Chain A
Amino acid sequence: MLKIDNLTANVADKPILKGLSLTINPGEIHAIMGPNGAGKSTLGYTLGGRPGYEVTGGSVDFAGQDLLELEPHERAAAGLFLGFQYPVEIPGVSFVQFLREAANAQRKGRGEEPLSGGEFLKLAKEKAGLLRMDMDMLKRPVNVGFSGGEKKRAEMVQMGILNPKLAILDETDSGLDIDALRICGEGINAIMRAPDKAVLLITHYQRLLDYVKPDFVHVLAAGRIVKSGGPDLALRLEEEGYEAVVQEAA
């Protein structure tokens, strides 16, 4: 589904990704872990197509398409979802209006019929319920006045509504209390655990992986994947720290 080959990328002319390769097949959940400054968020933003994240080499194939050739909205329509570490507040724009337009823009991009107001609200209500979020919150301006945990749950509601093929979730677990962590974890499983879908979890900690069991764990350090393994690698990192594992790989 996603094949990243020797990807290099700069931010403000500074090389951050330095030859990153990773393959994710349908049905798989991958976790990328790594110390601060390793390039984890840069990977997410680069795959999402954020302006200012300049690809200098390598390739990314997403479901048979050259991902790097696509604009951010085209990546979304192709089935990519980027869960933000810091979801952006947009005063004056209601979640409901924004998400309905977004869902229908994606459907249009794929040549599908738009959802009616009623169909959309039904879908939104179902996904909000999954994340135990009150529908009234989705009538408010996008992320404005939401707590850190509410913002992350709202990201997962968006993911549920947009129903992507591949979700790249950038530190979805940061800022969550224990209950919200479990709710988000269960949400990710309910929405994304399917034979034709895949998830890339970007995280510092093992704790989210207690709820969303990864098939593969990778360690990102200095812009490259230095070690890959199964779920036990995350446990080892938690016990021994990044430094030991990164040094051993070097």
Chain B
Amino acid sequence: MNVELALPTRKDENFRYSDIAALGTVWPIVTEEIVVAEGAEQTLQIVETGAGAVARHIAITLGKGAKFDLRVLTAGPAYGRIAVDVRLAEGADFTLGAAQLATAEETLEIVTEVTHAGLNATSEQIVRTVLAGKSVGTYLGRIAVERGADGTDAEQSVRAMLLERTATANARPELEIYADDVKAAHGCAVGELDAQGLFYLMSRGLTPPQAKRLMLQAFIAEAFTGAAGEEELSAAAIARLEAIL
């Protein structure tokens, strides 16, 4: 078992936007180790909707041709940190679909380090963040393609929606590539709800919270598309959106 002992500070890049005081209440974090054998497939669904602080660190090792589908919904904690390290062997495939919804003074973060260690491995990360009030939402995503991991295909799609200008979104995608023939696409955007779309929906009778909720539901849907627990994840997200709006 791997436990980091000293509480980090904000000087540590991986904790730069963290709520260190809240982190201290759940420190140290015990790393949850997951090993998926050659050719095996596994899924994991993390739903954190409690109000207290939560910090998790998950380390996933994927054998040759192994597949892992991870879905995350963080919606409720005053401080929520989900850190995921993934190491992919040849031909392995990793999917992350994550949504984090925050309001008031909440701080939520998703921190990933995806290492392509073998040939032709694929990874796809979709992260959607909705922020109201004075909340802070962060995505730090590092992709490392090691020497010899030719044929890597790594994608990151990161979008944040600010419901109020007082909220803060941080996104830092990083790529480190030491191989050839690598596809690494990343898209990153921070925006606000489309005013024209909102007026259109309201002109048909939807109340302002209903119109916003519908647009946000669509915004985060992509993170859960194709998940085994898609309906459950969507329902939990909608419940939180309704509380936030």
Chain A residues within CB distance 8 Å of chain B: 48-51, 71-73, 75-77, 82, 84, 87-88, 90-93, 97-99, 101-103, 105-106, 109, 141-142, 158, 162
Contact = CB atoms under 8 A, between A and B. Distances in A.
Given A84-B200, A87-B200, A90-B200, A77 B215 contact: no
A91 B205 contact: no
A72 B202 contact: yes
Contacts of B210: 101, 105
Given A88-B196, A90-B215, A98 B201 contact: yes
Given A51-B195, A71-B208, A98 B214 contact: yes
Given A72-B202, A103-B205, A109-B205, 16 more contacts: A49-B203, A50-B203, A71-B202, A73-B205, A82-B203, A88-B200, A90-B215, A92-B217, A93-B217, A93-B218, A98-B214, A101-B210, A102-B205, A105-B205, A105-B207, A105-B210
7 contacts: A49-B203, A76-B205, A90-B218, A98-B206, A102-B204, A105-B205, A109-B205
Instruction: Among B214, B221, B222, find the residue whose CB has the most chain A CB atoms closer than 10 A.
Output: B214
A80 B204 CA distance: 9
A197 to B, nearest CB: 17
A73 B206 contact: yes
B202 A76 contact: yes
Interface in B174-212: 194-197, 199-208, 210-211
Interface residues of B, number: 23
A85 to B, nearest CB: 12
Interface of B: 194-197, 199-208, 210-211, 214-215, 217-219, 221-222
A192 to B, nearest CB: 16
Contacts of B205: 73, 76-77, 102-103, 105-106, 109, 162
